[in-house]
């Protein structure tokens, strides 16, 4: 194991920022040296996040302005960016120039194509020249590239829950891509962010089940990109996200058609081949439904599947914590890969 | 409007039973003359359901044993059955023989085929001879038959949320049935019943999102039957229900492929043709997501839809209260039809 | 019963405003002629509150600017004010001048003393000359005055839950006022309003139990005023409100010392004397705990009590819906009194 | 630090049992060698608790019958008892005889008096001869005794939240005990246990706020005992617990009268004297309200206080996790004391 790595968090005021801090404080190989937030500059970490009171060094660490020079002076070797898209790229550039590895939780470096970025995010990419070296960092899929990357783009929460079940099947050619893959996902409210907003009030979310961003959620862009990489061809995809009254958790249900002649056992085998040795993918097997309550607060993704003999359709089922494996847990997992720690360091706790 | 109709409820100890009582107490044309429950016999109605205290006649009405002769003596002209499947049929037979109209909330009279019933419910149908006259009672689809029926089979909660969006499109031949229709539904916990059970405890359901009964939920049988009636041919269907932490509400998302050449506007037109005059179907229009919180406690079903230009897929979205429009509200709506009341009597309140 | 009364709502964008509209739409004696909201002017009522779609006249009524002249022209005989304190008084003055009865849900006319108002609300009272004629409108306590009032000040949510159990005991001299009355109340999040605010987000309220405004919540002022009226002397009072993760409901627990020689039966008798004939006070009796889920969405308040033989202390327990009996339901109850309707009109539904 | 200690859990099927297992799996000084449960014997630990899948050794450990000889053979040096009262004592006796330290989470060894036990628990104490040596194990109050005890009785959840704020004030003679101490506590549903029961269903607890066990909850017995020890005289106490819809967490509000002449600063000083060096008591200070969401899943108890100048009353406010600091976390903290680990070992994570 490496010695402790000095790390900074840029923009730690949202739910994935808090989760990131929580995980960093218990990671034996991370020395948290700087935390920045424009809104919280000058405040003690545990003053803003009372949950962290009494956990060293949260009572001593003070939020600083998000200034790259300050981060550099802190000696940080790694910087986690928990910033809005568009803003993240502006920090990544000088941090990389200062020799700091960047682990970005925003969408800024997930897409290979600046044109696609502009189409889905509504503004030109601030630093398209960095896209080529950025790694779309699903650790179960791209561990080697992550280990040597300077710029690590952590996948989105929905994409993680959709890509991990599908990629092994696409790589093995088990799906018939003449039929679109249809995905319904449910997410807890932390996925919508920690911003003052009437639709996210307790009284609006509690008792409410609803889809949103239909038919075109931004995450379609990165899901499509990565499915195409796995399949070697474009994969038609329909995606409907839903907001449901839990704090954290994504439950994803995928409908797809197996390729002609594929037997159900091949589905299981492909998943096992891909993930049997992966510590954070828990394969539940056939006709087993994952439950977000078993993964909330963890870095696990649970995957089940079923075959419907009446229609021949395949159903893939996954559950993860949207701010865990879907964001901050995965960021730490990528950190472990990038700095030579065992994959499970700091993450194998429930 | 007819004069008041004397009505009884058989088996009123579950969540749809309570909801039924609530709706009957506020219905201006219903005279609640008998309430039976084996478990609660001898107790005052409002003693078991404290919410009803002070609402006449809930403080005076006493649960009786579920005895058909007692119901007959009460003068009931209509009997609502809120009983488990298998049990319901055993009460329906003598009630019909006593000249009492039966409005059944169980699954016992929903299927035309006793063989299908046995396949999905695991026991032979107790009274297959009654199936021919029973009406699968979606009031928006089959109002005339309901008006003259003796035996009214109220549709299941999931089926209502799936059938109402799909039937007009199937009738109009707008869907390509070579691709299965894929359905993901989320339901509140009241749908699982009011039975002592560890998996339904607050601490097990709260914070939990999960699918269940994959790949073969019992409701597939009645959904399949009714889709076939509408389409004039079998409709391939995949259905994944989910349990989510709300009291009541079903949110349904349907993926389907339009038939060749169908324009998105035709989807909207078919829905409007079918439901523009229906008081309980609220059409939200294109790219609009219904929300269960706007229908909870009501008899409304809200329907939205979207067309995904990237894949050509159609997305249908609906929201209802599983114990309202999905059970007891719809039962009252059927009662109104069967006894000549305006459809909205007692139901147009939120 | 009177003929229909034309009524307006001023400021209907918050949770008690929505509840008020819901109740008015189902009241057989109310003709809703105007709804105003600065923020929503020009929008259709059911466009902003989708729950009301399909309920006449919510699809036709359009929010207007909160202009007194417009309200006058609508022919309104009654105006419900669901406005912030300070603003309400400014509307009340000209509405009264226009001959319109005012039913105010804010705090502006609850206190008799302009000095007390300024102390607790932080600004001078806008129209202290109106305080003398305003009636603190607990209908069970002050029905006659309400019936003849022009200016009806509806009590706050916490005060209603505290005053109704205590007033009969104070009037009967059953409490020892040398010991402070201590009150712990829990309220659902709708009591905190429908304003964009991080502390009221789903993710902040869900899973959270906490007190707030300790030791001096604004409602102390009106509770103290009314307890003093009932007791004929100042009543020492400690009050701790708590925010808990439910949409609606207040659960109040009161600790008090009986006066020397008072027997537990006298507590029960005093409550029954006061409320046996009141349709919205449900007395549960000794050692019985009310539950907010049985009163949510209704105008009922449920009251239980206990005597602790170990310490001689009295425990009073109440439950109400904070936006029902604690706000909008009570406003309608006051409307019924003021316009000669039976007290239960439009309110006896669950 | 000691080397790893072999430990067993007896009766691990409830919510505090699960929490105990979770904490033991991440404790660096605990070697979990046996887990027993009559109901679950033969099942793999992570099969019953899917949340623990993938966390060694949860996939290998199998529940055994609750047999003392098996526990002895496992080499266990410590046994945690998560059993119903009455049952726990029957296991403690032979475990102690086998030389195993017992950390009991039930009520069986909390009371010094077998008569009081029988009065509150309804049956004679199974082993009154053990009561003398049992330690009522509040680690902040009785660390030395715990360090040398064979039989450790972990306090109840409500008592912990009530005793920790009060004991320093009673020891310092700061309260006027002529007035009863009045306590209102709110608890999450996990406190009611993991037993199939209609009143604990999601649909019964969600949206519900209610008191229960008024006026005499069993925990009164141990609270009274310990308050008397601290005060040197009996302390009159009224206690009203409430059930609220959260998974875990207790929020306690205490009303008391300061002794004559006591200044508010003395309250603060007494709390700081007692707890400034305690790692799990977080003192928030004057007029600060603790929030259960900041302590859920942790071993912290947060304490705030207020002085009401209008009445002179003192308000004490605390928040803890009922299955953390209120049960299993505290059990681990006691384990640390008993086996020479630093108090925070395995517990300083959020």
> Interface partners of B (3+ CB pairs, < 8 Å)?
A, C, D
Contact C189 A204 (CB under 8 A): no
Give the pLDDT of residue C350: 87
Q: Do D294 and A22 touch (CB under 8 A)?
A: no
The contacts of residue C124 (CB under 8 Å, 6+ apart) are C114, C117, C118
Residue D171 CB neighbour total at 10 angstroms: 16
How sure is the predictor about C284, in pLDDT bands with cuts at 50, 70 and 90?
very high
Is the CB of residue B215 less than 8 Å away from at least one CB of chain A?
yes
> Can you point out the beta strands (E) in chain B?
5-10, 30-36, 78-81, 101-104, 135-136, 151-153, 181-187, 210-211, 237-243, 250-256, 281-286, 301-308, 313-320
Q: What per-residue confidence (pLDDT) applies to A58?
A: 95
Cα torsion at B57, B58, B60, B64 (round to 10°)? 120
Helix B219-231 crosses helix B157-171 at what angle (to 10 degrees)? Answer: 20
- State the smallest CA–CA distance between residue A14 and chain C in angstroms: 11
| DSSP assignments along A135-160, one per residue | EE--TTT-HHHHHT-SEEEPPPHHHH
Our answer to whether residue B157 is catalytic in this structure is yes
pLDDT in tens, chain A (350 residues): 458 999 999 998 999 999 999 999 999 999 999 999 999 999 999 999 999 999 999 999 999 999 999 999 999 999 999 999 999 999 999 999 999 999 999 999 999 999 999 999 999 999 999 999 999 999 999 999 999 999 999 999 999 999 999 999 999 999 999 999 999 999 999 999 999 999 999 999 999 999 999 999 999 999 999 999 999 999 999 999 999 999 999 999 999 999 999 999 999 999 999 999 999 999 999 999 999 999 999 999 999 999 999 999 999 999 999 999 999 999 999 999 999 999 999 999 88
Residue B54 has its nearest CB partner, among C279, C291, C293, at: C279
CB pair distance less than 8 Å for C189 and A201: yes
Q: Cβ–Cβ of C209/D237 closer than 8 Å?
A: no
Closest Cα in chain D to A21 = D350
State whether residue B28 sits within 8 Å of chain D by CB: no
List, in order, residues 6 or more apart from A210 with CB less than 8 Å away. Answer: A242, A243, B251, B289, B290, B291, B292, B293, B319
Q: Distance between CA A323 and CA A320 in Å, rounded? A: 9
CA distance D51 to chain C (A): 19
Nearest to C350 among B22, B282, B293 (CB): B22
Cα–Cα distance between D104 and D121 in angstroms, integer? 16
- Scanning C254-283 for CB atoms below 8 A from D yields 255, 257
SS3 D118: helix
Q: Give, to the nearest 10 degrees, the angle between helix B157-171 and helix B264-275.
A: 120
Residue B282, phi then psi, degrees to nearest 5: -105, 115
Q: Which helix (H) or strand (E) holds D239?
A: strand D237-243
Give the C-alpha distances (Å, rounded to integers) separating B130 from A324, B89, B127, B339, D260: 54, 9, 6, 21, 82
Q: Is the peptide bond before C294 cis (omega within 30 degrees of 0)?
A: no
Q: How far apart are CA D44 and CA D37, in angstroms?
A: 11
With a pLDDT cut of 90, the percent of chain C lying above it is: 98
B1: pLDDT strictly greater than 90: no
> HSE (CB half, 13 Å, CA atoms) of A293?
19
As a whole number of angstroms, the distance between CA C320 and CA C300 comes to 6
Name the closest residue on chain A to residue C243, using Cα atoms.
A202
State CA B30 to chain mean position distance: 20
The catalytically annotated residue of C154, C157, C203, C251 is C157
Cβ contact, residue pair A350, D22, below 8 Å: yes
Q: Write the DSSP symbol of residue D43.
A: S
DSSP A69: H
- Please give the average per-residue pLDDT across C217-241, as a whole number: 97
Number of A/D CB contacts below 8 angstroms equals 52
Task: Report yes or no: C116 at the D interface, CB cutoff 8 Å.
Answer: no
* Tens digits of residue pLDDT in C72-101: 999 999 999 999 999 999 999 999 999 999
Residue from B243, B333, B249 nearest B297 by CA: B249
Residue C277 has a CB neighbour count (10 Å cut-off) of 9
User: What is the crossing angle of helices C329-338 and C15-25, to 10°?
Assistant: 50
Say whether A52 and D350 touch across the interface (CB within 8 A): yes
Q: Is the CB of D49 inside 8 Å of chain B's CB atoms?
A: no
Cβ(B167)–Cβ(B326) below 8 Å? no
pLDDT bracket for residue B349 (50, 70, 90): confident
Subunits in contact with chain C (3 or more CB pairs closer than 8 Å): A, B, D
Nearest C-alpha in C relative to A192: C203
- Among chain C residues, the shortest Cα distance to A188 is held by C203
Helix (H) / strand (E) element for A55: namely none
| Contact between residue D179 and residue D257 where contact means Cβ atoms under 8 Å apart | yes
B21 touches chain C (CB under 8 A): no
Mutation target to probe the C interface, by most C beta carbons within 10 A, among A13, A192, A201 is A201
Distance from CA of D86 to the nearest CA of C (A): 25
Handedness of CA A94, A100, A101, A106 (dihedral sign): negative
Q: How far apart are CA C344 and CA C280, in angstroms?
A: 8
Cβ distance C245 to C144 under 8 Å? no
Pairing of strands A301-308, A250-256: unpaired
Please provide the DSSP assignment of A266-306 as one string.
HHHHHHHHHHTT-TTEEEEEET---BGGGTTTSS-EEEEEE
D285 reaches C (C-beta below 8 A): no
Question: How many C-beta atoms surround the C-beta of residue C3 within 10 A?
Answer: 7
B132-147 in b/e burial notation, b at 16+ Cβ within 10 A?
eebbbbbbbbbeeebe
Judge whether C59 and C32 are in contact, CB under 8 Å. Answer: no
Chain B nearest-CA distance from D147, in A, is 34
CB contact under 8 A, B180 and A244: no
Say how far apart CA D90 and CA C48 lie, in whole Å: 63
Give which of B272, B350, B24, B304 is closest to C55, Cα–Cα. Answer: B350
Q: How far is B211 from chain A (nearest CA, A)?
A: 6
ipTM of the complex: 0.96
Q: Which residue of A has its CA nearest to D50?
A: A294
Instruction: Please indicate whether, in this complex, the C-beta atoms of B210 and A291 are within 8 angstroms of each other.
Output: yes
pLDDT of residue B125 exceeding 70: yes
Distance from CA of A245 to the nearest CA of C (A): 8
Structure tokens belonging to residue A34: 């700087």
The mean pLDDT of B241-264, rounded to a whole number, is 98
- From B291, which residue of chain A is nearest by alpha-carbon distance? A210
Kindly state the average pLDDT of the residues B12-33. 95
Dist CA D252 CA D184 (whole Å): 6
Give yes or no for a contact between D163 and D142, defined as CB atoms under 8 angstroms apart: no
Residue stretches of chain D with pLDDT short of 50: 1
| CA within 13 Å, CB half, C110 | 30
What residues 149-208 of chain B have any CB closer than 8 A to a CB of chain A? 179-180, 182, 184, 186, 188, 204, 206-208
Q: Which A residues in the span 293-312 are in contact with B, Cβ-Cβ below 8 Å?
A: 293, 296, 304, 306-311
- The whole-number pLDDT of residue D343 equals 93
B4 CB near a chain A CB, below 8 Å?
Answer: no
Indicate yes or no: CB of A247 within 8 angstroms of CB of C189: no
D162 within 8 A of D151, measured Cβ to Cβ: no
Is A349 at the interface with chain C, CB within 8 A?
no
Q: How far is it, in rounded angstroms, from Cα C104 to Cα C111? A: 13
| Nearest-by-CA chain D residue for C185 | D184
- CB B116 within 8 Å of CB B158: no
Contact B245 A240 (CB under 8 A): no
Minimal-distance CA residue of chain C relative to D251: C209
Per-residue pLDDT at B12 exceeds 60: yes
Task: Give the per-residue pLDDT at C1.
Answer: 43
What average pLDDT does chain C have? 96
Nearest to B289 among A207, A211, A246 (CB): A211
Mutation target to probe the D interface, by most D beta carbons within 10 A, among C210, C223, C248, C258 is: C210
Instruction: Give Cα B195 distance to the centre of its chain.
Output: 20
Contact B48, B62 (CB under 8 A): no
* Residue A238, strand partner residues: A182
Catalytic-labelled residue, pool A154, A157, A203, A251: A157
């Amino acid at each position: 194991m490496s010695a402790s790595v000095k790390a900074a968090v840029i923009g730690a005021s949202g739910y994935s920022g808090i989760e990131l801090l929580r995980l960093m404080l218990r990671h034996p190989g991370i020395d948290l040296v700087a935390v920045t937030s424009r809104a919280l500059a000058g405040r003690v970490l545990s003053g803003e996040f009372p949950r962290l009171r009494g956990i060293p060094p949260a009572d001593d660490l003070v939020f600083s302005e998000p200034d790259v020079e300050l981060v550099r002076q802190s000696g940080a070797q790694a910087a986690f960016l928990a910033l809005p898209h568009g803003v993240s790229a502006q920090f990544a550039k000088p941090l990389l120039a200062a020799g700091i590895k960047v682990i970005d939780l925003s969408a800024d470096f997930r897409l290979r194509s600046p044109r696609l970025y502009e189409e889905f995010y509504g503004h030109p990419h601030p630093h398209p020249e960095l896209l080529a070296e950025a790694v779309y960092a699903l650790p179960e899929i791209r561990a080697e590239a992550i280990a040597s990357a300077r710029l690590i783009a952590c996948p989105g929460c929905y994409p993680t829950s959709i890509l991990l079940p599908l990629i092994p099947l696409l790589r093995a050619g088990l799906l018939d891509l003449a039929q679109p893959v249809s995905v319904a996902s449910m997410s807890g409210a932390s996925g919508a962010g920690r911003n003052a907003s009437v639709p996210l009030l307790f009284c609006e979310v509690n008792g409410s089940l609803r889809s949103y961003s239909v038919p075109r959620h931004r995450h379609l862009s990165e899901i499509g990109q990565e499915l195409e990489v796995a399949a070697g061809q474009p994969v038609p995809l329909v995606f409907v996200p839903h907001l449901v009254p839990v704090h954290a958790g994504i439950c994803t249900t995928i409908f797809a058609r197996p390729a002609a002649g594929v037997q159900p056992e091949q589905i299981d085998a492909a998943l096992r081949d891909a993930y049997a040795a992966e510590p954070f993918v828990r394969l539940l097997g056939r006709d087993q439904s994952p439950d977000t309550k078993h993964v909330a607060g963890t870095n696990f993704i649970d995957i089940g599947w079923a075959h419907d003999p009446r229609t021949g359709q395949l159903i893939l089922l996954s559950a993860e914590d949207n701010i865990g494996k879907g964001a901050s847990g995965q960021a730490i997992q990528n950190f472990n890969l990038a700095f030579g720690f065992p994959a499970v360091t700091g993450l194998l706790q429930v």
